[in-house]
Structure 1
Amino acid sequence: IRTSRVSFPGSFTAECARQHTLKILFTMPIDWETKLSASARRRPTNALKELCAPLLHKKGMVLLGGGLPSAQAFPFTKISAEFTDGVKVSLSEGKGLLSALQYNAGGVAPLREWASKLIAAKVKPLCEDWEVTLTAGSSDAIEKMFGLLVDEGDVVFTEDHTYSAALSNIRGYGGVAWGVAADHEGVLPAAFEEEIERAKKQGKTIKALYVVPIGANPSGAVMSPGRCKELYDIAKKHNLIVLEDCAYDWLQYTPDRKSKDVPGLRFGGFLPYDSDSRVIRLDTVSKFIAPGLRTGWLTGPKPFVRHFSKLSNLSTHCGSAISQSMVLSLLQQWGEEGLQAHIEKLQRMYQTRRNIVADAFDQHLKGLADWRVPDAGMFFWLRPKSLEAEKKDSRSLIPILLKHNVLVVPGGIFKAEGSDAPSPWLRLAFSYATDDDLKKGVEKLALVLKESAVASEEKEKASSS
């Protein structure tokens, strides 16, 4: 970090300068070439696309270069959809259909512009060196992101339990998903510092912090602005990249279960504190429109986005332009007011389901388990006391629950490296089942946990006698 005195022209006189010592802190931008994986540094650009793409729409150009199918070969004249609120969108020959059906480097530009405006207005990145690129949904973006960053043995810090697909991709590229203790706000700063020092002492290459800051999967944790700032400062101190997976920002709820209010459209995360361009943010329409559209966007420093786009141009071409065009048409017809109304509708629906499960837990699971009521996301994170007491893994309960036709996910699926202790946790989704099934599911879970508690007590008595 360096400081510099600044001079101002005009009415800001030398006398003013003597009375007010002004300093601006400059932070050196991150050297992305040192952060990229070896494969990312080796990967050449798509030379064919670099040559042809800028010339496709040049007036008078005879296109004998790219292997583009003739638009006359496309068997579509119109693609349309009608939404539950009555909004209708369509693509036809005069309204973007042909370009959406063709190869499309970079995706649908107006959707990218829409996402950029949303990020600028609602997320408010602190740094200026950022841009947006479209993705084929967050799962594909996560795989690409870790492929661009992780080499064999590199450490990516995560919550001690985190999104299983992220773990699989980190491990798949030879990295270490290094778990850090967490609470209801996610990663604990003191534990983060401690694990960084432990990894350094072991001679590890530490690369990044991966988090789901709002409605963490599986824990449901919500990071406060203060927690995000504290973790960012630690990451900056140790020159780590921050990877934030923001799929659940759209699904936030009021803590008071008696309230009918919902938060509406608001965003959290690390970009508002990113003073030196080390944060990469993922967004997706999967949770607020539909996952089958496979549409999302990545916001990050321009050097990283260029490498991400290079990889996309050699693989998925930024996703389906048909999906992106339909999403864009819907968002344009909604406008900001319509989007806000849609988000509030979703939040009311999921908040009601969350409350149903929370009330059922209060009724049936007191004394049998510990849990927190989530303020975002789709999941309850439950710890049966019988498993914790016996230091047993929650996988032991899954066959019993399946006999009762109840499917929950054992915590071990989400467990990062760092501890050999079994995971007693269970993840329960409240997003999909009907209200009645949510109640029935909790009742059946309570029955199984009671049986587990009795067995645990009998085992303890036998061992003490």
Structure 2
Amino acid sequence: MASLTVTDIRRLRLDSTPISKTVAPSVSADDFKSINSRRKPRSKKFDHHFSFECRAFNGSALKKSASVASSKKIISLGTGRPTADYYPWKMLAFESLTPALKESADQVSTDSPELQTVTKQDCDYNLALALNYGGAMGSPHLLRFFSEHTEMVHNPPYQDWDICLTAGATSAMEIAYRIFCNRGDNILMEDYTYPGTIEGASQLDLHICGVPIDAEGASADFLRKVLETWHLSRGAKPTIFYTIPYGHNPTGVTQSVTRRREIYQIAEEHDLIIIEDDPYYFLNMGSRAADISSNDTRIPTYLSIDTSGRVVRLDSTSKILAPGLRAGWVTASAQVIQKFIAYQEVSTVAVSGPSQLMLWKLLDETWGHEGFFTWLNNLSLEYRVRRDIMVGACELYLPKDICSWVDPVCGMFLWIELDWEKHPRFKHKDQLAQRASPAELVDIEQNILSASLANGVQVTKGSLFKCDKNALSKMHFRMTFAAAAKGDLEEGVKLFADAVKKEFALNL
């Protein structure tokens, strides 16, 4: 079935019932789906994947008892929610950028949003609601927007998908571990990945099996082989695969659609849960030679090819709006989302109300879906310029007989591999034959890192991203073109290149 369009969304809203304006109402994505979504087949049951802890846990009984629906006026004498009369804020004001991201120096936009205010008594989503305890699934106003967005962008192939807001992907991942993993379990993820995910797994005594990465992303061949040959002497066979498929952190690689379909088929055969962590999905820069004008070239997501409901997709506002919002959303089958809600009720409780209010005011009331897509497209173009500056500087300054890289087509990272065999420490053949130990590689890494900092530039050493640091056999550095001032990017690469040349005893 075809995905929703913005026109379809407008029509749906005209025919929909008004959103509840009570505090923390019970709500789900089902309240906002199109008829096309409701006609799809249902997902499979995956409760056999739930951890021992999760199976018997259904969240906070107190919070569930506080959300009541009635046609009568309800006088609240039972909840611990204070009256809005005593909140010491009367109003919040917002002035947002236009979706065009910025204005040219010689042109001032005539349609810039005026200063917008939200008071305690506003008739729609107001400050009184935002400052009260919210529902763990998120405010219905913002949940509606992200539900519509999900159906437009991903169009999940089964009907009972659902969404809840999260306090960012790191928090969502910790909950996912609690839902699907028992202590001592084995899990699969890319051989190099986001350190927070590795450290979070370590805290729960989970054992990581790293999947090698090539130019098309995580190796499907390795994934199939490790699952087909798994011996129980290693512990229970892995049942989840965590992946960053688009603009991978740290390598910048993007999984091809063929690779995604191969991995999804393996997941079907071996009953794997796929956790799709995709914060860089909308940072689509294309190749340096390509001409991109929109994000229509994005590769289909795991969620969009998931016919069973085995994909848990994590989205975040951190890389596309602002990380300090601490807001994101997770999409999965309804049975899984109910568990996310249960855990949030006894941990983060809800995403910060002011963050949700800011997001709704910007995304829904000010920009709308079209404006949001315009913002994302323009953001990609901005990152493309930054990427090209950094890659051009690498070509100009880095010693090419030592350093190599692949230009990223999306995301915000450049992954530099250094040929450690060219290091003076290993110039004798007898030493090279013994290979470099992980400790030796980390030592050289640290020397380069320290020299870079002394020169005035910060980079990140690759060993921090390695799942099994005892198996470290290559040397990498990760650089981002997202953080520094645009005018400093070339100078930063040059200063890093000077540190590399010094460590490898090259003439500066």
Q: TM-score, normalised by structure 1?
A: 0.87
Residue 242 of structure 1 is matched in structure 2 by: 274
**Alignment check: 8 A CA contact 1:244 1:281 kept:** yes
Say if 1:295 and 1:251 are closer, same or farther in 2 by CA, change over 3 A: same
Matched, 1:256 2:283: no
Contact 1:254/1:262 (8 A) holds in 2: no
What are the residue-to-residue correspondences of 1:167-186 with 2, within 5 Å? 167-186=198-217
Q: For residue 337 of structure 1, report the CA deviation from its aligned partner.
A: 2.4
Letter in 2 for 1:417: D
Partner of 2:162: 131
For 1:352-367, list aligned pairs within 5 A.
Answer: 352-365=385-398, 366-367=400-401
Matched, 1:454 2:505: yes
Mapping of residues 47-446 of structure 1, within 5 Å: 47-55=61-69, 59-85=72-98, 86-87=112-113, 88-95=115-122, 96-105=126-135, 106-205=137-236, 206-257=238-289, 259=291, 261=293, 263=295, 266=298, 268-332=300-364, 333-365=366-398, 366-386=400-420, 390=426, 391=436, 392-393=441-442, 394-417=445-468, 420-446=471-497
Query: Are the counterparts in 2 of residues 408 and 426 from structure 1 also a CA contact under 8 Å?
Result: yes
Could you tell me whether the CA contact under 8 Å between 2:91 and 2:118 is conserved in 1? yes
Amino acid at match of 1:443: K
Per-residue CA shift, 1:68-105, capped at 9, x if unaligned?
Answer: 11111111111111123333443212321111111111
Question: C-alpha distance in 2, partners of 1:388/1:290?
Answer: 41
Residue-by-residue CA offset, 1:285-332 (whole Å, 9 max, x unaligned): 111111111111100011110011011111212211221121011112
CA contact (8 A) 1:412 1:422 kept: no
Distance 1:428 1:372 in 2: 12
Aligned-partner SS, 1:425: strand
1:320-375 Cα distance to aligned partner (Å, 9 max, x none): 12211210111122122211221122112111010001111111222221101101
**In structure 2, distance between residues paired with 1:305 and 1:44:** 11
In 2, Cα distance between the equivalents of 1:372 and 1:265?
A: 19
1:410-445 CA deviation, whole Å, 9 max, x = no partner? 111111138623441111011011233211111122
C-alpha deviation, 1:258, in angstroms: 6.8
Counterpart of 1:149 in structure 2: which amino acid?
F
Residues in 1 aligned to 2:482 and 2:233: alpha-carbon distance in whole angstroms: 42
Q: Which runs of 5+ in 1 are unaligned?
A: 1-25, 458-465
Asked whether the 8 Å contact 1:371–1:380 carries over to 2, the reply is yes
Q: Distance in 1 between matches of 2:363 and 2:298?
A: 17
Q: CA deviation at 1:402?
A: 1.7
Aligned residue identity for 1:80 = A
Q: Contact 1:406–1:444 (CA<8 Å) still a contact in 2?
A: yes
Instruction: Could you tell me which runs of 5 or more consecutive residues in structure 2 were left unpaired when the two chains were aligned.
Output: 1-40, 99-111, 427-435
Asked whether the equivalents of residues 42 and 159 of structure 2 are also in contact (C-alpha less than 8 Å), the reply is no
Q: Which amino acid aligns with 1:62?
A: I
CA 1:399–1:203: 2 relative to 1, 3 Å? same
**Partner residue of 1:21?**
none
Asked if structure 2 preserves the Cα contact closer than 8 Å seen for 1:214 and 1:268, the reply is no
The alignment yields a C-alpha RMSD, in angstroms, of 2.2
d(CA) in 2 for partners of 1:295 and 1:135? 6
Shift of 1:446: 1.6
1:220-242 CA distances to partner (integer Å, 9 max, x unpaired)?
11112211111011111111100
Query: CA–CA distance in 2 between the matches of 1:278 and 1:252?
Result: 26
Say whether residues 1:41 and 2:55 are aligned partners: yes
Decide whether the 8 Å contact of 2:58 with 2:339 is kept in 1: no
In the aligned structure 2, how far is the partner of 1:419 from the partner of 1:380?
A: 24
Q: Secondary structure at the match of 1:242?
A: strand
Q: Which residue of 1 aligns with 2:5?
A: none
Gap change, CA 1:330 and 1:46, over 3 Å in 2:
same
How far 1:30 moved relative to its partner? 3.5
Q: How far does residue 243 in structure 1 lie from its aligned partner after superposition? A: 0.1
Per the alignment, residue 6 of structure 1 pairs with: none
Question: Measured at CA, do residues 27 and 112 of structure 1 come closer, stay the same or move farther in structure 2, by a change above 3 Å?
Answer: closer
Q: Which amino acid aligns with 2:417?
A: R
Instruction: Kindly indicate whether the alpha-carbon contact (under 8 Å) linking 2:149 and 2:369 is maintained by their aligned counterparts in 1.
Output: no
Matches of 1:258 and 1:229, distance apart in 2:
25
| CA 396–418 in structure 1, closer or farther in 2 if over 3 Å, else same | closer
Q: Among the aligned pairs, what percent are the same residue?
A: 28
TM-score, normalisation: structure 2: 0.80
